[in-house]
Amino acid sequence: MKIEIAKSDLESALAVVGNTVSGSGSDLSAHFLFRVQEGAAQVLAFHHRTFSLAPLTKARVEGEDGDAFTVEAWRLTKWVSGIGDVAVLLSTDGNGEVKVSGGRSTIRLRSLDPSKFPYWDKTLAGATSTGSVPANRLGAAVGYARRFVSQEDTTRPEISQIEAMGGCLWSSDRRAVSLVKVDGLEDTGLRVAGKDIPAVLKFLTTKPTADDTVEVLEADSAVYFRRTDGAHVGVARPNAAFPTLKGVESDPSEVWVEFAGSDLRAAVNVLSASASKDNEAILLSVKGKQLVFSMTSEAGGTDEYPVDLTASENLEAFPVDGASVGFGHLLGFCDHFSLDNLRLEVHFKGKGGFFAFRKGTSGDDANSYYTVVVWRT
């Protein structure tokens, strides 16, 4: 079996599958697998719950369908980075040795038994197409939603993931709930575990995928994201469903405050200097026409940082005793969207309530974002 391909084309393919290969060990999960399928060459990789494939569409191939060999991923990647812009030839005689040649260099690498590779062809063939979305739009949605995914994957797996429901990507860390509306996901029920999001996000946001449209395909055990040339990344589908949360979506509130993101950052910097290191609780309260941030000092008492509001509505209805939230979420809104000003709607529920943050479509981002953060007095 022989594969001849330009270095640049090989690098593009390895950039896809390199996101789902193990960075340690020497078993098959640390190898790239090259194979002949329907007369064309492909490269595949897997690691734990993630797997990917990239077609080598411009490669010249000698071999029969089913022919395959593997090479350690880090070795091939390192070798490719050290050669010039030349043609690369990968060949094997089927006896466990792979010869890799290009320019003035030839090295030999060890192949493991390709028959032991966990191919997913049958699962993908039986998967149902549930939507098509521009990759950059889906990437933007996933990149935002991951900020609110719980890290409690062993005790709360149902919220340690993102899931599409009703055309929105949902995520929650118990203190906040995020919904991102993405046109094209109306019929999709994709579900991705938090620990698998980086591989999916890398695929969606790296060129040429970022300039393409991806098709979402779903099977009982897996979810696939496939671009038009057949390159794809897949993840094992979590068993636990995202919980049905009632009362999250709401109409815009008539009570809201707006303040400069720079003032929020300044408040967090100075107040956290005196607070306990693991404390992120910050209290928002209104005094006159100002918004006051305050945190409990490790030395005792409470330290305050007042700021001027850039805008507000029905300020007199703001919670009398203030509203306490984790400042990480508020900073996340500003940092993710590079906001100059942050507007928070105030909603009341029971003895507390929630702040709501909304961001509609703008520029190249056609998604709509809605996030609620629970506050307490």
> What number is the average pLDDT over the span 69-90?
96
What pLDDT does residue 294 have? Answer: 98
pLDDT exceeds 90 at position 284: yes
d(C-alpha 86, C-alpha 276), whole Å:
57
Which residue, among 263, 262, 265, 317, has the nearest Cα to 286 in the 3D structure? Answer: 317
Give tens-digit pLDDT for 160-195: 999 999 999 999 999 999 999 999 999 999 999 999
What pLDDT does residue 354 have? Answer: 96
What pLDDT does residue 207 have? Answer: 86
> What number is the average pLDDT over the span 145-150?
96
Residue 182: both structure tokens together: 């993405």
What pLDDT does residue 93 have? Answer: 86
Quote the Cα angle for 301-303-305, to 5°.
160
What pLDDT does residue 90 have? Answer: 98
pLDDT exceeds 80 at position 38: yes
Which residue, among 28, 51, 53, has the nearest Cα to 43 in the 3D structure? Answer: 53
What pLDDT does residue 10 have? Answer: 97
pLDDT exceeds 90 at position 209: no
What pLDDT does residue 285 have? Answer: 97
d(C-alpha 234, C-alpha 163), whole Å:
15
pLDDT exceeds 70 at position 73: yes
pLDDT exceeds 80 at position 365: no
What pLDDT does residue 351 have? Answer: 83
Pure H helices in 273-316: none
> What number is the average pLDDT over the span 105-130?
97
What is the three-class DSSP state of 256? strand
Predicted confidence band at 363 (pLDDT cuts at 50, 70, 90)? low
Sorted by where each starts, the structural domains of the chain and their CATH numbers stand as: 2-116 (3.10.150.10), 121-236 (3.10.150.10), 256-375 (3.10.150.10)
d(C-alpha 228, C-alpha 206), whole Å:
15
pLDDT exceeds 80 at position 348: yes
Q: How many angstroms separate the Cα of 10 from the Cα of each of 7, 37, 102, 204? A: 5, 17, 12, 19
> What number is the average pLDDT over the span 73-96?
94
Predicted confidence band at 246 (pLDDT cuts at 50, 70, 90)? confident
Predicted confidence band at 110 (pLDDT cuts at 50, 70, 90)? very high
Predicted confidence band at 360 (pLDDT cuts at 50, 70, 90)? confident
Which residue, among 350, 348, 276, has the nearest Cα to 314 in the 3D structure? Answer: 348
pLDDT exceeds 70 at position 216: yes
> What number is the average pLDDT over the span 98-115?
96
Percent of the chain with pLDDT over 90: 92
